[in-house]
Each structure stands twice: as C-alpha cells, then as structure tokens.
C-alpha cells in the first residue's frame, strides 16, 4: 500500500478480512499520519494470551488475577507484542498520561489494527476513558466504544470508595467493587449493553468487542470479571476457584530500597 492512509476501525476490518481471504500478506503497512510511517507486523499466530498494557497504572494486579485463572498473561510495553493477544486490558491509572505514553511509544496504530483483527479490549477506570467515543469536556482518545464518560465524576482521590453489588451477568453472588477517582459512564450507544447501573450512572458496560468497568476488579479478591473477560476473548479458564485468598495487594508493589 502506498500513500497516506488513516483508516477507521471499519476500514481496517475490511482490509484485514481481504488480506486473510487472499492469504497473500502477513503484514500491512499503514501511514498513520502525515508525519511518520508505521509498519505493523501482524503475524497470523495463534491468539492465546491476554495482555495488560504496561505503560502506567495498575498492571501487576491484573496479571496476578489472570494467572490465577490459568491464563498466560503478558505485560505489553511495545507494538511488537500484539500478534498473539486474544485480549488486552487497559489498566486503571491516569488516562492523559496513558494516552501520551501510547503515542510516544507509537503503540496506538498497532493496537487499533489488532482490535480490528479481533482482539478484545477491557478498559478498567482510566482504560474506560481511553475507550470512550465521548468524554465530557475533553478530547476523546482511542474512540473504540460507543460510550460517553465523565472523568473524575465522584470528586477527589479522597472520595474513592468501596461497595458491594451483584452483577448478574458476571457473577452469581455479590462482589466487592473499588472506585478510585473513577469516571462515570453517562450514556451508551445502541450496540452497547449495560452490565451494571448504580444510582444515576453506568458502572459497567460491554459491546461485542469491548468491556468497560469504571471500577477496579483487580484490586479485589474476586476473579469474576477477569473470568468474564477471558471467556469473551474465547479462552478457557481453569474453573477451580472464583476468588483469590489474598485480600491485600501490597506485596505486588515492587518498591526497592536504594542500594547503599
Ligand atoms: N481519574 C483518572 C483519570 O481520569 C482515572 C483513575 C483510575 O484509573 N483509577 O484518568
């Protein structure tokens, strides 16, 4: 392909379908902007891993939950790591920082190609903000899901809270939810299903390819949301347990003292 080409997800899907149909190419080359050129290597390998975007935010806790379900979980730091991902988790953190890092490391185009090629995405908290196609008072980021969000909708960091709810489609019993300076999903498009409504806002929603939660299941012992996402990605979990024994994630914080 020559010339500049800034495809929509729909165009990328058509292109990938065509390429697969022709069995001619195992790579595509896309000019994503007038300023630079990106070459994607989407090798047609078996997609059997779940990635967690590892640029900023709560990564290890997601990895830990996925591993507890017997899933091969990888920390995704660069564009070359997308070829065998059945799903990708965009973790909680700080959405402005995450999008800046995605752009600095030039990951966004490959992420969109992998998404168009069937990789599912789960956004937790800041990750949900990245997915949204409308952000109140702010610019949109990845634009992959037909939801509107309001950032920092509960107030300051100190207004963060825990609650317990039942999300029938995800788990038969009540689970803990942790909201950390969370956004609210304020509206969803016709192709998006609401999984959890609380008061005046939507806390969890999904469409065919994305799952969005404004809270952090990875900071609770429950494996229910991770299991739900893994199955959405077409992978099998080991069904032995639905909750971790651990209730604190402090040991996952890799804080090392400066050497003397
Ligand atoms: N307040 C953050 C933002 O707007 C999200 C917080 C979180 O991910 N826990 O990006």
Taking each helix axis as running N to C, give the angle between helix 108-116 and helix 9-22, from 0 to 180 degrees, rounded to the nearest 10.
Answer: 60
Say yes or no: CB of residue 93 within 6 Å of ligand 1: yes
pLDDT at 42: 52
CATH match of 48-236 with 3.40.50.620: no
**Mean pLDDT for the chain overall:** 86
Element (H, E) at 97: helix 95-104
Kindly list the domain boundaries of the chain, sorted by start residue.
48-236
The arithmetic mean of pLDDT across residues 74-98, rounded, is 95
Tell me whether residue 259 is exposed, middle or buried, using C-beta atoms within 10 angstroms of its C-beta: 0 to 12, 13 to 18, 19 or more: exposed
Is the distance from the beta carbon of residue 123 to the nearest atom of ligand 1 less than 6 Å? no
- State pLDDT tens for residues 195-232: 999 999 999 999 999 999 999 999 999 999 999 999 99
Which stretch of 26-30, 36-40, 98-102 has the lowest confidence by average pLDDT? 36-40
pLDDT tier at 12 (50, 70, 90 boundaries)?
confident
Q: 212 - beta bridge partners?
A: 123, 205
Q: What is the pTM of this model?
A: 0.85
> Residues 116-167: pLDDT tens digits?
989 999 999 999 999 999 999 999 999 999 999 999 999 999 999 999 999 9
Looking at the CA of residue 160, tell me the nearest atom of ligand 1. Answer: 9
Q: Are 1 and 7 in contact (CB under 8 A)?
A: no
CA of 100 to the centre of ligand 1 (A): 14
Mutate which of 126, 154, 185 to test ligand 1's pocket (most atoms within 8 Å of Cβ)? 126
Mutate to test the pocket of ligand 1, among 99, 138, 151, 177 (most ligand atoms within 8 A of CB): 151
Inter-residue contact 188 to 132 (CB < 8 Å): no
The confidence score (pLDDT) of residue 89 equals 98
Q: pLDDT confidence of 27, banded at 50, 70, 90?
A: very low
- CA distances to 15, 47, 82, 111, 253 from 119, in Å: 15, 8, 9, 9, 29
pLDDT given at position 17: 75
Active-site residue 125, yes or no?
Answer: yes
């Amino acid at each position: 392909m020559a010339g500049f080409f800034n495809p929509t997800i729909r165009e990328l899907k058509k292109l990938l379908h065509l390429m697969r149909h022709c069995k001619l190419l195992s790579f595509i080359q896309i000019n994503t902007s007038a300023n630079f050129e990106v070459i994607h290597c989407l090798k047609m390998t078996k997609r059997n891993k779940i990635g967690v975007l590892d640029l900023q935010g709560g990564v290890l806790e997601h990895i830990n939950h996925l591993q507890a379900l017997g899933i091969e979980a990888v920390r995704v730091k660069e564009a070359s790591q997308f070829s065998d991902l059945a799903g990708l988790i965009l973790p909680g953190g700080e959405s402005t920082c995450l999008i800046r890092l995605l752009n600095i490391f030039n990951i966004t185009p490959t992420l969109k190609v992998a998404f168009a090629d069937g990789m599912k995405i789960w956004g937790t908290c800041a990750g949900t903000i990245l997915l949204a196609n409308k952000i109140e008072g702010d610019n949109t980021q990845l634009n992959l899901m037909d939801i509107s969000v309001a950032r920092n909708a509960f107030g300051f960091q100190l207004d963060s809270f825990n609650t317990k709810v039942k999300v029938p489609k995800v788990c038969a019993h009540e689970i803990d939810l942790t909201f950390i300076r969370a956004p609210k999903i304020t509206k969803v498009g016709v192709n998006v299903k609401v999984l959890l409504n609380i008061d005046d806002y939507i806390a969890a929603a999904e469409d065919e390819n994305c799952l969005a939660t404004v809270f952090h299941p990875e900071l609770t012992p429950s494996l229910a949301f991770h299991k739900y996402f893994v199955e959405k990605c077409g992978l099998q979990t080991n069904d032995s347990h639905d909750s971790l024994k651990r209730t604190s994630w402090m040991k996952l914080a890799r804080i090392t003292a400066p050497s003397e």
